[in-house]
Amino acid sequence: MPRVLFFGRLRDMAGCSEREIACENDLDLPTFRRLASLGDHDLEEALAARSVRVALNAVLVPVAATCSVSPGDEVAFMPPFSGG
Protein backbone atom coordinates (compact mmCIF):
# COMPACT_ATOMS: atom_id res chain seq x y z
CA MET A 1 0.00 0.00 0.00
CA PRO A 2 1.36 3.45 -0.84
CA ARG A 3 1.95 5.89 1.99
CA VAL A 4 1.23 9.62 1.93
CA LEU A 5 3.06 12.22 4.02
CA PHE A 6 1.60 15.65 4.76
CA PHE A 7 3.72 18.61 5.84
CA GLY A 8 3.05 22.08 7.22
CA ARG A 9 -0.48 23.42 6.80
CA LEU A 10 -1.41 20.31 4.76
CA ARG A 11 -0.74 18.21 7.88
CA ASP A 12 -3.10 20.44 9.86
CA MET A 13 -5.76 20.10 7.14
CA ALA A 14 -5.39 16.30 6.98
CA GLY A 15 -5.29 15.98 10.77
CA CYS A 16 -2.35 13.57 10.54
CA SER A 17 1.22 13.55 9.26
CA GLU A 18 0.88 10.32 7.29
CA ARG A 19 -1.58 7.65 6.27
CA GLU A 20 -1.56 4.45 4.24
CA ILE A 21 -3.74 4.33 1.16
CA ALA A 22 -5.65 1.12 0.49
CA CYS A 23 -4.72 0.36 -3.09
CA GLU A 24 -2.99 -2.52 -4.87
CA ASN A 25 -2.62 -0.89 -8.31
CA ASP A 26 -0.47 1.83 -9.84
CA LEU A 27 -2.16 5.22 -9.64
CA ASP A 28 -1.72 8.51 -11.46
CA LEU A 29 -1.18 11.54 -9.24
CA PRO A 30 -4.72 13.02 -9.44
CA THR A 31 -6.21 9.65 -8.47
CA PHE A 32 -3.71 9.28 -5.66
CA ARG A 33 -4.54 12.79 -4.36
CA ARG A 34 -8.24 11.92 -4.35
CA LEU A 35 -7.69 8.66 -2.43
CA ALA A 36 -5.22 10.32 -0.03
CA SER A 37 -7.81 13.02 0.78
CA LEU A 38 -10.41 10.48 1.99
CA GLY A 39 -13.26 12.52 0.55
CA ASP A 40 -12.06 15.88 1.92
CA HIS A 41 -12.42 18.10 -1.16
CA ASP A 42 -10.67 21.08 0.44
CA LEU A 43 -7.64 18.88 1.15
CA GLU A 44 -7.72 17.37 -2.35
CA GLU A 45 -7.74 20.86 -3.84
CA ALA A 46 -4.94 22.02 -1.53
CA LEU A 47 -2.76 19.04 -2.53
CA ALA A 48 -3.18 20.01 -6.19
CA ALA A 49 -2.11 23.66 -5.69
CA ARG A 50 0.72 24.88 -7.92
CA SER A 51 2.73 25.90 -4.89
CA VAL A 52 2.72 22.36 -3.47
CA ARG A 53 5.81 20.32 -4.29
CA VAL A 54 5.61 16.54 -4.48
CA ALA A 55 8.32 14.03 -3.59
CA LEU A 56 8.09 10.39 -4.65
CA ASN A 57 10.23 8.14 -2.42
CA ALA A 58 12.06 11.24 -1.17
CA VAL A 59 12.91 12.51 -4.67
CA LEU A 60 11.34 15.75 -5.85
CA VAL A 61 9.17 15.21 -8.94
CA PRO A 62 8.75 17.97 -11.53
CA VAL A 63 5.32 19.58 -11.22
CA ALA A 64 4.23 18.65 -14.74
CA ALA A 65 5.54 15.09 -14.53
CA THR A 66 3.12 12.26 -15.14
CA CYS A 67 4.04 10.58 -11.90
CA SER A 68 2.82 7.06 -11.20
CA VAL A 69 2.39 5.84 -7.63
CA SER A 70 2.94 2.14 -6.94
CA PRO A 71 2.13 0.07 -3.86
CA GLY A 72 5.03 0.55 -1.43
CA ASP A 73 5.77 4.09 -2.63
CA GLU A 74 5.99 7.08 -0.28
CA VAL A 75 4.48 10.31 -1.59
CA ALA A 76 5.08 13.59 0.23
CA PHE A 77 3.00 16.73 -0.32
CA MET A 78 4.98 19.82 0.62
CA PRO A 79 3.61 23.38 0.81
CA PRO A 80 6.05 26.29 0.35
CA PHE A 81 9.18 25.87 2.44
CA SER A 82 10.00 28.33 5.21
CA GLY A 83 13.44 27.50 6.56
CA GLY A 84 16.07 29.84 7.92
Which 21-80 positions form the footprint of other proteins (CB under 8 A)?
A: 55, 58, 76, 78-80
Task: Using the minimum distance from each CB to other proteins, give the nearer residue, 39 or 81.
Answer: 81
Residues 19 and 54: their CA atoms lie apart, in Å, by 16
**Range list of H helices, the chain:** 9-14, 29-36, 41-47
Among 7, 37, 52, 56, binds other proteins (CB under 8 A): 7
- Closest approach, Cβ 52 to other proteins, in A, equals 12
Residues of the shown chain interacting with other proteins in the complex, contacts defined by CB under 8 A = 5, 7-9, 11-12, 55, 58, 76, 78-84
